[in-house]
Structure 1
Amino acid sequence: MPFKIFFTTDIHGSERCFRKFINSAKFYDAQVLILGGDITGKVIIPILKNANKMYRAVISNRPREVAEDELNVLIEEIRFNGYYPYITTAEELAEIEADPKGKERLFRLAIKESLEKWIALAEERLKPLNIKVYISPGNDDDFIVDEVLKSSDFIINPEEKVVEIAPGVEMLTFGFANPTPWNSPRELSEEELEERLTVLADKMSYEGISIYNIHVPPFNTPIDQAPKLDFNLKPVVEAGQIVMTGVGSKAVRNLIMKYQPTLGLHGHVHESAGIVRLGKTVCINPGSEYNDGVLRGALITIDEKKKKISYQLTVG
């Protein structure tokens, strides 16, 4: 009997997007949920408490000040944008900033607490429904993510493994990316990527439905196009237009062309949502609009008996 997979990626700490991810099981009647990397936020937003019990924060360059009875609204606004709120005082904040490792410790703590809360919510909502949930890190995710995911007996972290997500349906998962200008936590050279991916690819049977859940998309395709950057990391503009270029992985493209899995699930490049074929392989990047609380995804229907798939991009 056909079953459905809902795939999304690059929610970057947006609590609204994560809640939509959880709700997608019922909404799309999906039996398997996959969150394919870059799940954590990038910034802590300090909320400064003053002597008058007023709370101040700056969100996306917009100063905000609220009274104590509006504090929860401010916190939710920060979480909505994929940031981590931290209530503090000017004195404590100065101490944290003076400590070379203070910000790093605070950031990792914020990731841990937020992800633990998300996992508890997913277990509460989805465990009774017997939904399979796969969540893996991407190149932007700190390694604390692996520790937190490991603590759950419900959420499955398939990173750098081959798992059978349904009878006759195998999935390879890999969250590292080729080098980026931002020196993110999980980056490898193209040579290292190809070596480690090949080890995984060789473990698959390819007799049924084969899925490559690889965070970075294949190089030089419609789903890996991003603005070309200059030495100052500013977009290159020619004739009034931003120049786009491929930023995906050559190793991933080589792997797909060699092994020809049924399906490739990718992310990493937010502005390049789309579906493309490389030989017999259908490659999907749903894109990302996490800053607006919009969950972009892909709904895949699999018929194991006929070894066929159908797919569509979703926006919710």
Structure 2
Amino acid sequence: MLKLFFATDVHGSETTFRKWLNAAQHYGADVLLMGGDLTGKMLVPIVQERDGSYTARFEGAEVRVDDQRGLADLERALRQRGYYTQRMTAEERARYQTPEQVEELFRKHMAEVLEGWVGLADERLDPGKTPAIWMPGNDDLEFIDEYVNRSKAIQNGDGRIIEIDGYYVLSIGNANVTPWNCPRDVTEDVLARKIDELAAQVPDMSRCIFNVHAPPWGSNLDLAPELDEDFKPTMEGGGLKMVPVGSTAVLEAIRKWQPLLSLHGHIHECSAGIKIGRTLCVNTGSEYHEGVLRGSLVILDPKKGVKNYALTVG
């Protein structure tokens, strides 16, 4: 038996990444897999005011703390949500006038956090005992590959097939084109070609695990709020109107290749498992913003395939 733990879309959250690292011990997992979208989405300046207090604006509100303990608590809470933080004076903040200056600071924090995660993983995980794979997702800038590749304990699976205990993990972090034109969005044709080129190299599809960031279209693993032309959610019947936004290329690849297991992320609102033909397809969803790790524990039997699986919240 092989017990596999999968989670995805941590988006820079310190809390959820550490929980993933601890999942081998907590759940007794033999293998750890991390889907795409490793980096955070926001940088929050924490400004030191003239009276010695600190202020930060995020999620539409201003927070003020008056001492070092409050400052540490604020930084910890922001990092739990996946936000990067930068202490600065009002004068220093005023110097950041251009998008290029902000982007440079953002990249600096992405790199520093990933370096810290690599160090933590290399300290806590024994790759000979608990193999681990992670990959960038469509939200992640290309430059982070340098840092993702540095870990001795976690392999970067993106665009590769990695064999673990006789199973073949095929990983692709790209997604079909989104309204935000993310760094690793690609057309459906490109995504289909990427999957097919790798899948053709798998010697035994009955022992193949797809780790593909985008979920299959129309599978109920890909439901997200419909957006209007101003990128605001549309309403229907007193609630959000949900529509499928997954990938047709991923759907067709699963139908064509019928891997043993197909693991997905990208759409945070979905947490479910379904069957497409013989293939068990799972999207764990994500609540990184709350410091909650959504995952899936899958038990693989060398003779029977997927013996059991469970969606986890921790």
Q: Which residue of 2 aligns with 1:80?
A: 80
d(CA) in 2 for partners of 1:103 and 1:232?
Answer: 24
Q: Which residue of 1 aligns with 2:222?
A: 224
Displacement of 1:127: 2.7
8 Å CA contact retained: 1:59, 1:78: no
Q: Which residue of 2 aligns with 1:105?
A: 104
Q: Does 1:212 align with 2:205?
A: no
Q: Which residue of 2 aligns with 1:178?
A: 176
8 Å CA contact retained: 2:13, 2:288: yes
Q: Which residue of 2 aligns with 1:91?
A: 91
Q: Which residue of 1 aligns with 2:196?
A: 198
Q: Which residue of 1 aligns with 2:276?
A: 278
Displacement of 1:61: 2.1
Q: For residue 46 of structure 2, give the secondary structure of its aligned residue in structure 1.
A: strand
Displacement of 1:128: 8.2
Displacement of 1:208: 4.5
**Matches of residues 1-316 of structure 1 in structure 2 within 5 Å?**
2-70=1-69, 71-96=71-96, 98-127=97-126, 130-166=129-165, 168-206=166-204, 208-316=206-314
Q: For residue 110 of structure 1, give the secondary structure of its aligned residue in structure 2.
A: helix
d(CA) in 1 for partners of 2:274 and 2:204?
Answer: 20
d(CA) in 2 for partners of 1:100 and 1:82?
Answer: 21
Q: For residue 108 of structure 2, give the secondary structure of its aligned residue in structure 1.
A: helix
Map Cα deviations across residues 95-150 of structure 1 (whole Å, 9 max, x no partner): 12x23411111111110001111121122222388321211011111122211011
Normalising by structure 2, we get a TM-score of: 0.96
Displacement of 1:275: 0.5
Map Cα deviations across residues 46-102 of structure 1 (whole Å, 9 max, x no partner): 001123322111232231222342221111011011100111122222212x23411
d(CA) in 1 for partners of 2:237 and 2:93?
Answer: 45
Using the aligned pairs only, state the percent identity: 43
State the 4+ residue runs in structure 1 displaced beyond 4 angstroms: none
Displacement of 1:19: 1.2
d(CA) in 2 for partners of 1:104 and 1:158?
Answer: 27
Normalising by structure 1, we get a TM-score of: 0.95
8 Å CA contact retained: 2:168, 2:208: yes
CA shift in 2, pair 1:53/1:251, >3 Å: same
Structure 2 regions of 5+ residues with no counterpart? Answer: none
Deviates more, 1:32-41 or 1:117-126: 117-126
For 1:248, give the aligned amino acid: G
For 2:4, give the aligned amino acid: I
d(CA) in 2 for partners of 1:48 and 1:164?
Answer: 48
8 Å CA contact retained: 2:205, 2:259: no
8 Å CA contact retained: 1:177, 1:215: yes
Q: For residue 209 of structure 2, give the secondary structure of its aligned residue in structure 1.
A: strand
8 Å CA contact retained: 1:179, 1:187: yes
Displacement of 1:306: 4.2
Cα root mean square deviation, aligned:
1.5
For 1:35, give the aligned amino acid: M
